[in-house]
Amino acid sequence: MTEQKNNSYPTISEKNWWTIREKFKASIPSVVSPTYIKSLLSMANDNSANSNVINPLRRVGLIDDDNKPTSLANEWRIDDKYKAVCDTIIQSVYPTELLDLFPDSNVDRASARTWFMSQGVGQGAADKMVALFSLLKSGEIKNGKTIGSKNNIKQSSPNPKKVANNKSSTPTAGNQHTGGNRNISNSTSHPDLHIDLQIHISPDSTPEQIDTIFASMAKHLYGTGKQ
């Protein structure tokens, strides 16, 4: 493992990370130049493109010193290889001490922020470093899909036993038959739905904003007026 010699670790916004990956999936560029990044991400100038995107991409090994995409960048585009690429980046960029503190995919952001700040950076910079570190540790693709898991809406087939000739003890209009025949009512089966939700909360959110988000979820998911 490569131990970091300075106190600075790469930062890149989640939005830019996924936008670049989607572009690479469509067509991997020959060179990731400042002009390429400015056009793709609507950045104002070369300095912004270099400091916010190109340098971080170089630090994590997705482009080389000539700004050309590496073989790792080619694998980064492929969903089935995405998590392995994240693991490779983690092992090459971050020190053993940090990885020992956070061995699992879920990262306690407050604790991680403390560690990054102990390296001599301010809270704002530390939060950005935590954001990328957490993104890499999760190994999840933007839509919530993880390798080997299904997180899409699932719809079950109607149960044929529910559809076929349910018996009713009370005769109703339209299903009563003469001659003492049994009354039969037809029932309609509705498919079951299973929905998984993934929530991305900015590390800059205040506790009050987070409480408001979950209060809104409870209101819309479970309805109002419940005790």
Please write the tens of the pLDDT for every residue from 90-142: 999 999 999 999 999 999 999 999 999 999 999 999 999 999 999 999 999 97
Does some domain include residue 3? no
Does some domain include residue 175? yes
27 and 58 share one domain: yes
| Cα 130 to Cα 203: distance, rounded to the nearest angstrom | 9
Domain containing residue 180: 154-194
Q: Can you give the pLDDT at residue 227?
A: 46
Tell me the percentage of the chain whose pLDDT exceeds 90.
Answer: 59
Q: Percentages helix, strand, coil for the chain, rounded to the nearest 5?
A: 50, 5, 50
Sequential DSSP letters for 109-148: HHHHHHHHHHTT--HHHHHHHHHHHHHHHH---TTS--TT
130 and 23 share one domain: yes
37 and 89 share one domain: yes
53 and 164 share one domain: no
Examine the pLDDT at 44 and tell me if it is beyond 50: yes
pLDDT tens profile 137-157: 999 997 744 444 444 434 444
Q: Can you give the pLDDT at residue 157?
A: 43
Q: Can you give the pLDDT at residue 153?
A: 37
37 and 126 share one domain: yes
Enter the DSSP assignment of 63.
B
Does some domain include residue 8? no
Examine the pLDDT at 220 and tell me if it is beyond 90: no
| Cα 38 to Cα 42: distance, rounded to the nearest angstrom | 5
Does some domain include residue 71? yes
96 and 25 share one domain: yes
Does some domain include residue 103? yes
> Lowest mean pLDDT: which of 25-29, 73-77, 113-117, 154-158?
154-158
22 and 134 share one domain: yes
132 and 180 share one domain: no
- Asked if 130 contacts 112 with a C-beta cutoff of 8 angstroms, the reply is yes
For residue 34, with 0-12 CB atoms within 10 Å meaning exposed, 13-18 middle and 19 or more buried, which class applies? middle
Does some domain include residue 90? yes
Tally of structural domains, the chain: 2
Name the one residue in this structure whose structure tokens are 């102990």.
118
Could you say which of 110, 138, 166 is where a domain stops?
138
Q: Can you give the pLDDT at residue 179?
A: 47
86 and 162 share one domain: no
Residues 6+ apart with CB under 8 A from 73: 24, 28, 62, 63
185 and 120 share one domain: no
Does some domain include residue 144? no
